[in-house]
């Protein structure tokens, strides 16, 4: 087998264990299905051959994938207790729980008409053709070591399908928990919305502090004509957790994809959202990140306008305090035939301390001539005029800073539609800012 030796520079890293991973593949759910075996094997070989990207790779220049490497991570967890903090389940949602990469039974609510949910291991058997159609990622840039590693190692995840015309009111929550030290989990989800279908999916990622782990997940989304998906991601990993979550979307004509991210946790975490937009489709990506202490948070969006009359909007707010580091890279590609494209990208950032760092980079590749594309990126500090305004109302400086920083992020958060999720994120944002701002004034 090619590429099973670690590339230079990665001795002592996860790459050393390629042969172990190969053995492991034989034990994954779905092993024995020839097409799946082949896909996993090829992914592992490609992973070995590519190695982790370095900062020389433009897509990884601020946050090399090698930061995710580490030899100690184990795919086979010790026996997993089926208990978890049930408060993490959002009220009035249909919640699917994963702990250390395994599905944990939660309360079974009858599914509404038009909604089908399976474990992917069931979908491998029941819908092999549909699954195979979703194995490939829309962009060559989506194929990198981390997504390949998920493809090679993921045996669990959910398969969600909403049938044509069905409007699913109840949000579906995918709760992904890590608990065991040094554990590597890889989950893979497939979401398809048929014509005119509508649904809301919420991903919640969480884990304990002071526990190193690597949580990888990949969500593959297919929206047929005129389908509409609201997708949310709440990333609240533990302070030593490493997180990668890729969201890869295919949008058929007139479909609508709305994604909002709130990223707070982890030692290092990357969220990647790639979408391919066909004619007159709409894609709205919004998010906030708050990188405190030594947290490194990376958000990476890539929108390919492949058909005419599509609109896209990126709107992100980044905050970095302590020695935190934030990265936003947003790329918009307008293909030659994609006339009348409207694309707007905005990323506003706030630095709360001297050691904090934010790197924001817009990338526009426009190959059509009748388009409207705009981008704006700013990095700044709080407005002294606003601090004085609050002080003149009796609010002290620390509280004023906290309030203004909260407001800066809350402009995005308050648009979140599921009320319970919005409340959770606002609460976490408020709590984390209290710590961060108290910390910075003591420096």
Partner 1 sequence: MLSIRHLEARVEEKPILKGLNLEIKAGEVHAIMGPNGSGKSTLSHVLAGRPGYEVTGGTVTFDGHDLLSLKPEERAREGVFLAFQYPVEIPGVSNIYLLKAALNAVRRHRGEPEVDAMDFLQLVKARIRSLNLDEQFLYRGVNEGFSGGEKKRNEILQMAILEPKLCILDETDSGLDIDALKVVADGVNALRSSDRSFVMVTHYQRLLDYIKPDFVHVLAQGQIVRSGGPELAHELEAKGYGWLESAPGL
Query: Which parts of this chain interact with partner 1 (CB under 8 A)?
Result: 383-386, 388-397, 399, 403-404, 406-411, 414
Least CB distance to partner 1 at residue 20 (A): 48
Cβ proximity to partner 1: between 83 and 392 the closer is 392
Least CB distance to partner 1 at residue 328 (A): 19
Cβ proximity to partner 1: between 56 and 393 the closer is 393
Cβ proximity to partner 1: between 43 and 410 the closer is 410
What is the helix (H) or strand (E) element at residue 202, kind and residue range? Answer: strand 198-206
Least CB distance to partner 1 at residue 390 (A): 7
Q: How many CA atoms are closer than 13 Å to the CA of 107, on its beta-carbon side?
A: 10
Are 290 and 319 spatial neighbours (Cβ–Cβ below 8 Å)? yes
CB environment 97-129: b (16+ within 10 A), e (fewer): bbbbbbbbebeeeeeeebbebbebbebbeebee
Least CB distance to partner 1 at residue 165 (A): 35
Cβ proximity to partner 1: between 293 and 428 the closer is 428
Least CB distance to partner 1 at residue 387 (A): 9
Strand order in the sheet with 115-119: 115-119, 158-162, 183-193, 213-223, 241-251, 268-277, 296-305, 325-334, 357-366
Cβ proximity to partner 1: between 12 and 407 the closer is 407
Are 72 and 212 spatial neighbours (Cβ–Cβ below 8 Å)? yes
Least CB distance to partner 1 at residue 327 (A): 23
Measure the CA–CA gap between 218 and 237, rounded to whole angstroms. Answer: 16
What is the helix (H) or strand (E) element at residue 193, kind and residue range? Answer: strand 183-193
Are 305 and 334 spatial neighbours (Cβ–Cβ below 8 Å)? yes
Cβ proximity to partner 1: between 59 and 411 the closer is 411
Q: Which residues contact 407 (CB under 8 A, 6 or more apart)?
A: none
- Taking Cα atoms as reference points, which of 161, 158, 170 lies closest to residue 421? 170
**Residue 441, CA distances (Å) to 5, 29, 180, 323 in order:** 49, 51, 35, 14
Cβ proximity to partner 1: between 209 and 381 the closer is 381
Least CB distance to partner 1 at residue 392 (A): 5
Q: What is the DSSP string of 355-414?
A: S-EEEEEEEEEE--SS-EEEEEEEEE---HHHHHHHHTTT--HHHHHHHHHHHHHHHHHT
Q: CB 4: neighbour CB atoms within 10 A? A: 16
Cβ proximity to partner 1: between 218 and 320 the closer is 320
- Nearest-5° Cα angle at 386, 351 to 260: 50
Least CB distance to partner 1 at residue 428 (A): 15
**Residue 389, CA distances (Å) to 236, 436, 441 in order:** 33, 22, 20
Cβ proximity to partner 1: between 117 and 386 the closer is 386
Cβ proximity to partner 1: between 31 and 387 the closer is 387
Least CB distance to partner 1 at residue 322 (A): 22
């Amino acid at each position: 087998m090619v590429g099973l030796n670690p590339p230079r520079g990665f001795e002592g890293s996860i790459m050393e264990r390629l042969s172990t991973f190969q053995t492991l593949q034989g034990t994954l759910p779905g092993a024995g299905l020839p097409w799946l075996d082949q896909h996993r094997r090829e992914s592992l070989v490609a992973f070995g051959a590519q190695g982790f990207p370095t900062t020389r790779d433009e897509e990884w220049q601020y946050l090399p994938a090698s930061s995710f490497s580490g030899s100690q991570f184990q795919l086979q967890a010790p026996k997993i207790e089926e208990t978890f903090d049930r408060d993490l389940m959002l009220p009035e949602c249909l919640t699917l729980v994963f702990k250390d990469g395994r599905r944990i039974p939660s309360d079974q609510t009858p599914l509404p008409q038009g909604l089908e949910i399976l474990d992917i291991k069931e979908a491998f058997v029941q819908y092999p053709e549909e699954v195979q159609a979703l194995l490939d990622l829309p962009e060559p840039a989506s194929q990198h070591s981390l997504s390949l590693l998920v493809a090679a190692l993921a045996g669990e995840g959910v398969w969600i399908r909403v049938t044509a015309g069905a409007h699913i009111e109840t949000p579906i929550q995918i709760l992904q928990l890590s608990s065991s030290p040094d554990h590597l989990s890889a989950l893979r989800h497939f979401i398809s919305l048929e014509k005119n279908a509508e649904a809301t999916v919420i991903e919640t990622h969480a884990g304990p502090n002071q526990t190193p782990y690597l949580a990888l997940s990949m969500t593959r989304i297919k929206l047929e004509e005129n389908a509409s998906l609201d997708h949310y991601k709440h990333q609240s990993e533990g302070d030593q957790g490493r997180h990668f979550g890729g969201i890869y979307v295919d949008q058929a004509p007139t479909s609508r994809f709305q994604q909002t991210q709130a990223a707070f946790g982890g030692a290092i975490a990357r969220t990647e959202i790639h979408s391919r937009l066909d004619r007159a489709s709409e894609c709205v990506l919004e998010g906030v990140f708050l990188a405190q202490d030594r947290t490194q948070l990376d958000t990476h969006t890539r929108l390919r306008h492949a058909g005419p009359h599509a609109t896209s909007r990126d709107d992100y707010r980044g905050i970095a305090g302590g020695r935190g580091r934030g990265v936003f890279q947003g790329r918009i590609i307008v293909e030659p035939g994609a006339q009348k494209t409207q694309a707007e990208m905005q990323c506003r950032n706030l630095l709360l301390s001297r050691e904090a760092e934010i790197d924001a980079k817009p990338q526009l590749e426009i190959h059509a001539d009748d388009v409207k594309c705009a981008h704006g990126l700013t990095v700044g500090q709080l407005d002294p005029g606003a601090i004085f305004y609050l002080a003149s109302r009796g609010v002290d400086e620390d509280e004023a800073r906290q309030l203004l920083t909260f407001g800066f992020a809350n402009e995005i958060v308050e648009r979140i539609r599921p009320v319970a999720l919005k409340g959770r994120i606002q609460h976490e944002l408020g709590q984390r800012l209290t710590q961060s701002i108290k910390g910075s004034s003591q420096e």
